[in-house]
Structure 1
Amino acid sequence: MSEKVTLGKLSTGVPGLDVLLGGGLTEFSFTLIAGAPGSGKTTLAHQIMFALANPERRALFFTVLGEPPLKMLRYQQQFSFFDMDKVGTSIRYVNLADDLRAGDFSGVLERIMREVEDFSPGLVFVDSFRSVVQTARSGNQGLWDLQHFIQELGSRMAMWQATTFLIGEYTQADVEANPIITVADGMVALSHNLHEDVVVRKIRVIKMRGQAHMAGSHTMRISDDGIRIYPRLLAGVPGAYSAIERDPRRIPTGVAGLDELLHGGLPQGHTILATGPTGIGKTILGTHFLSAGAERGEHGIAMYFEKHTARLHNAALIEMARAGKVSVIEPRSLALTVEELLDELAETIERTGATRVVIDSLSEIGLYLAPEFRHDLRLTVFRTLALLAGRGVSVLVTAGFEDNQPDMRFSFDNLCFLADAVLAMRFAEVEGRLCKFMTVVKVRGSAHSNELRAYRITDAGIEVEDRAVPYDRMLTGWPTPRPPRK
């Protein structure tokens, strides 16, 4: 036989799961869904079942609990994926509790096969399979009976060309010592871990025969729509970096004096990090950046971690948001994961076609991350900026930073090394006045001014002086205020 067998793939209907599985679930496979009580096993099984079941591929769901399937249905139908029209026609529930009480594996197997012959399903689910295992007799004879039952069930399901799922409350140690793992073609483990009073749900594909799958643990959430998985990917667009122009066009930042320092504006697709202490004008600079894009017909995204937009008293930003020119993203949880952050950001970019993003600020993002992600903020920032760079989006990121001038540091955690350009914004006391100054520290692949420019924040926003501030002018104070520059 010279030709390879091609394995059919089924899309699970669970966002993110097909990515972990390497493109989908292998058709006619025998998969174990394991995890502790409350980890989401039954919900995952139902979400897959309702996505795949149809008149041509019907599903049998065996329950082996003492409670009737009605109780399970009562809770599962609260999810948006549940379709009552499929129940009874494309999906049938069967309770095996009475068969299990007889204590005979062969009787349970025959009952399953009778139902399979009668309904001709393409999908078979057994929940909870551990209840079946626990009815096995002790000793070697009981172990042999259980192994024989599992092997027979797997081979008969394959003969009937049914894709089978066994759901059970197993831990990793349980499964390694259990004969079921040698028979199963695939195993998916779910868990929920407590970190500093925050529960983070994880999913892991332990094995999946015949196809490459993503290793490691990945974050998942259960919402009204069911389960959503966030694969740990370095999000980006393949080949995006090779497509970057050697001399990209410049885009305005919305502050004319800053554009002069940048020798014509920020290179398209670059990330500029604006750092400085509180009150220096970083958030206002972000609004200028979004306004400049809106004037050119570009859609923008404002991702705020510091304060709610309603408290910004920023009429320009509020107006842009109401006009649909800017989408505002704000965290809704104190247990945010990096994958959720990237997923929402990528989805908003795809939906709106945004070409500008403001992230304000990195100093507060750690307050919203789940505890396990807080230890490496630099990795979070790196993955976020990689996603935006892969999509050719121009980004302004702010970071609060105490101004210790003699140290000449420009960010915490060495975040400035991750950005393409760095703008330092600083205070200085001049003749009893607290004055503001800015300078461009770096712009990758581009010349820029190294001047120190004074600026003011007026009712019109940020106004930068025309030229570098000489020392003697600093001592004489500010001139009479002039109209803001257009």
Structure 2
Amino acid sequence: MSETDTHVPPGPARVPTGVPGLDAVLEGGLLPRAVYIVQGGPGEGKTILANQICYSWAARGERSLYVTLLAETHHRLLRHLQNMAFMDNRHAGTSVTYESAFDILRTDGLEGVLRYLSRNGKRQQASLIVIDGLFALEENAHSERAFREFINDLSVYADVVGCTILLLTNSKRDSGSPEFTMVDGWLQLGSEEDYSRTYRYLQVRKFRGSGFVAGRHMTAISNAGFRVFPRLEAVTGELESAEMRDQRLSTGAAGLDAIIEGGIPYSSTTLLVGPTGVGKTTLGLSFICQSTVEEPGLVFGFYEDEHRLRRRADALGLELGALIDKGVVGVVHHSPTEFLQDELAEEIIETVRRHGARRLFIDGVDAFKQASVDSQRLGRFLSTLTAILRCEGVTTVFTAELAEIVGGQHGLQFTAVSAIAENIILLRYAELESRLYRTLAILKMRESGFDPYVYEFHLDARGFRLGERMKGTEGVITGRPHRPSPAGEGNE
């Protein structure tokens, strides 16, 4: 066959698990006729995950058989699952059947369990079989060889019958153990502590016949069930750039547009950086209040809820409340608690798409750092998030606190987002001759000229207003302003 005649056959069809985020990690779902181990310690979520898959399959018309090798009763198991949103009692006992092979294992051993699975799986016409308690089979095997033979026979059964099998275990055996080398896939659930914080994760250790997204992915368990948050930078893939426009978007701040050649460039990322209370949120609200029905806006904040934002805007003469009431501007607020950064990113992207937002104001990008489990990821994560927003045609404004307010040889230090921000506006306090000034300077503007001067600005009932260019002073940017001495005089 010549090179031009080569044909790569399509990969095997996937069976979606129905677990949010997991199918993205598995690049589509599980493979049929395969055996998978789900490993994790007590309380890591193995039972919830397996049941959620069962009920997701039941909603598609598939049948599942859930077999326990433990002494726990099914009544107790189902009682613990009742508060889960995926739990549909219409399927319990019909499309999802629960049975115990605990006594059969004790009396007839591994061979008896295999006969039991073959008989009941056929009777239930199950396309999914869950075996909860693989470690019990290990303990009851007469030898390591007998256990290997059981796993092999189980794989043959899955292939012949055409069903998918999940083996749940809390065993701490590692990849050198025979069960892990013989099965088609291995999903590991775990949790770790970061000082006072505990976080959960899922990692695919093995997945035959397919690619998958390697590494750890954060997970969460709630009344909604089990959810996986794939690492944003690992699952985004190639992005289509938004249509380029020469359009400028007004900041809404009197005088500011004039010094940046008409406004913020379309579909760019702007960082408002400065100390607390200097006016970053006010400037961000001025930007978002320029939203229209054709180009809606979204505020995603961590420190002020909708009620407080409305009050702040009213005091500044901004019509934020009216825009919210008309549905032109949406507001999402989260207290900076123990959210995961990928969880926040998913919500931002989903809300932007649902609302059709074209202006986005994220008040408190520092919250992403607080939500980060691996701080080394932060730069890649923010770069991916902003790239997605640009491709959606969204013009984004972030706020960030100054990491350090110092001058001299240390200079100014910004957060990781400054490296990927296309525009940077610095807001500072400056004390000069016993008076406190608010100052603004443009440090960076994408593909655009700007005035390279420091300006005073004001916050009052007329909003954010740019004042006069500061003259006769030096060191404002460093936070150490002073008036230079007249020519010929010392600076003592």
TM-score, structure 2 length as denominator? 0.87
Pick which of 54-63 and 224-233 moved more: 54-63
Is the 2:34–2:159 Cα contact (8 Å) retained in structure 1? yes
Equivalent in the alignment of 1:155 = 156
Alpha-carbon distance change, 376 to 12 in structure 1, aligned in 2, over 3 angstroms: closer
Report if the CA contact (8 A) 1:37-1:169 is conserved.
yes
Mapped to 1, the partners of 2:90 and 2:149 lie a distance apart of: 37
Distance 1:442 1:452, change over 3 A: same
Unaligned runs of 5+ in 2: 1-6, 477-492
Instruction: State the 1:414 CA deviation.
Output: 5.7
C-alpha contact 2:175 2:181 (8 A) present in aligned 1:
no
Q: Distance in 1 between matches of 2:359 and 2:236?
A: 16
Question: CA offsets per residue over residues 164-208 of structure 1, 9 Å max, x none?
Answer: 11111133xx03242211221111111111211211110011111
> Structure 1 stretch 334-343 or stretch 217-226: which is displaced more?
334-343
Does the Cα contact within 8 Å between 1:236 and 1:389 map onto a contact in 2? no
Amino acid at match of 2:123: D
* Residue in structure 2 matched with residue 460 of structure 1 by the alignment: 462
* CA–CA distance in structure 1, aligned partners of residues 450 and 95 of structure 2: 66
Pairwise CA distance, 1:54: 5.9
**1:260 and 2:258 matched:** yes
Contact 1:276 1:399 in 2 (8 A): yes
Q: How does 1:30-179 map to 2 (within 5 A)?
A: 30-53=35-58, 57-102=62-107, 104-137=109-142, 142-171=143-172, 174-179=173-178
- Mapping of residues 1-12 of structure 1, within 5 Å: 4=9, 6-12=11-17
1:219 lines up with 2:218 in the alignment: yes
Residue 332 (structure 2) aligns with: 329
AA aligned to 2:428 is R
Q: Which residue of 2 aligns with 1:17?
A: 22
Aligned-partner Cα distance in 1 for 2:409–2:74: 67
Which letter does structure 2 place at the counterpart of 1:119? Q
Over 3 Å counting, the alpha-carbon distance change for 1:376 and 1:11 in structure 2 is closer
Q: CA RMSD in A?
A: 2.6
Larger mean Cα displacement after TM superposition, 384-393 or 28-37: 384-393
Q: Distance in 1 between matches of 2:94 and 2:341?
A: 41
1:201 alignment partner in structure 2: 200
Counterparts of 1:29 and 1:5, CA distance in 2: 18
Maintained 8 Å contact 2:273/2:425: yes
Residue in 1 that maps onto 2:273: 275
CA contact (8 A) 1:55 1:90 kept: no
Uncovered stretches (5+) of structure 1, i.e. residues with no partner: 475-486
What is the distance in 2 between the residues matched to 1:319 and 1:419? 30
Instruction: State the distance in 2 between where 1:54 and 1:115 align.
Output: 21
2 CA distance for matches of 1:58 and 1:166?
Answer: 17
Q: Quick one: distance in 2 between partners of 1:415 and 1:125?
A: 45
CA deviation after TM superposition for structure 1 residue 454, in Å: 2.1
| Residue matched to 2:240 | 240
Aligned to 1:447: 449
Look up the equivalent residue of 1:305 and give its one-letter code.
F
Which residue does the alignment assign to 1:393? 394
Distance in 2 (CA, whole Å) between partners of 1:3 and 1:291 is: 53
More displaced 10-residue stretch of structure 1: 142-151 or 319-328: 319-328
Partner SS, residue 228 of structure 1? strand
Does the 8 A contact of 1:253 with 1:289 survive in 2?
yes
- Length, aligned pairs only: 461
2: CA distance, partners of 1:376 / 1:180: 34
Kindly provide the amino acid, as one letter, of the partner of residue 385 in structure 1. Answer: T
Alignment match, 1:182: 181
| Alpha-carbon contact 1:429-1:435 (below 8 Å) kept | yes
Letter in 1 for 2:187: V
For the residues of structure 2 that align with 1:56 and 1:427, how far apart are their CA atoms? Answer: 64
Q: Is the Cα–Cα contact under 8 Å of residues 8 and 27 in structure 1 kept in the other structure?
A: yes
User: For residues 181 and 88 of structure 1, what CA distance do their matches in structure 2 show?
Assistant: 31
1:374: how far off? 4.5
Question: 2: CA distance between counterparts of 1:212 and 1:378?
Answer: 26
* Structure-2 separation of matches of 1:108 and 1:277: 66
**Paired letter, 1:228:** R
Aligned to 1:425: 427
Whole-Å separation in 2 of the counterparts to 1:349 and 1:34: 36
Whole-angstrom CA distance in 2 between matches of 1:190 and 1:130? 16
Choose 40-49 or 322-331, whichever is displaced more.
322-331
Q: Distance in 2 between matches of 1:238 and 1:157?
A: 36
Q: Which moved more, 1:296-305 or 1:308-317?
A: 308-317
Is contact 1:275-1:411 (8 Å) kept?
A: no
Shift of 1:5: 7.5
In the TM superposition, residue 405 of structure 1 has moved relative to its aligned partner by 5.2
Distance in 2 separating the partners of 1:309 and 1:6: 48
1:256 CA drift (Å): 3.0
- Distance apart, 1:307 and its partner CA: 3.8
Q: Which residue identity lines up with residue 60 of structure 1 in the other structure?
A: L
Q: 1:336 Cα shift?
A: 2.0
**Cα offset, 1:322, TM superposition:** 4.0
1:357 and 2:355 matched: no
Query: How far apart, CA to CA, are the structure 1 residues paired with 2:376 and 2:146?
Result: 49
Corresponding residue SS for 2:469: coil
SS in 1 for 2:286: helix
1:403/1:427 contact within 8 Å kept: no
Identity of aligned residues (%): 29
| 403-412 or 104-113, which deviates more | 403-412
* Residue in 1 that maps onto 2:299: 302
Superimposed CA distance per residue, residues 291-329 of structure 1 (whole angstroms, 9 cap, x where no aligned partner): 0124x6422222223344444531344444344332223
Q: Which digits, 9 at most, give the CA deviation of each residue in 1:325-374, with x for residues without a partner?
A: 322233356222221111111111111111111122234544x425x335
Summarize the Cα distance change of 1:167–1:249 in structure 2 as closer, same or farther, 3 Å threshold. same
From the superposition, tell whether residues 452 and 332 of structure 1 become closer, same or farther in structure 2 (CA, over 3 Å): closer
Supply the AA of the counterpart residue of 1:362.
V
| 1:62–1:93 Cα contact (<8 Å) kept | yes
Which letter does structure 2 place at the counterpart of 1:381? L
Amino acid at match of 2:238: P
Q: Distance in 2 between matches of 1:320 and 1:26?
A: 48
Residue 43 of structure 1 contacts residue 226 of structure 1 at CA under 8 Å; is this kept in 2? yes
CA contact (8 A) 2:44 2:200 kept: yes
SS across alignment from 2:25:
helix
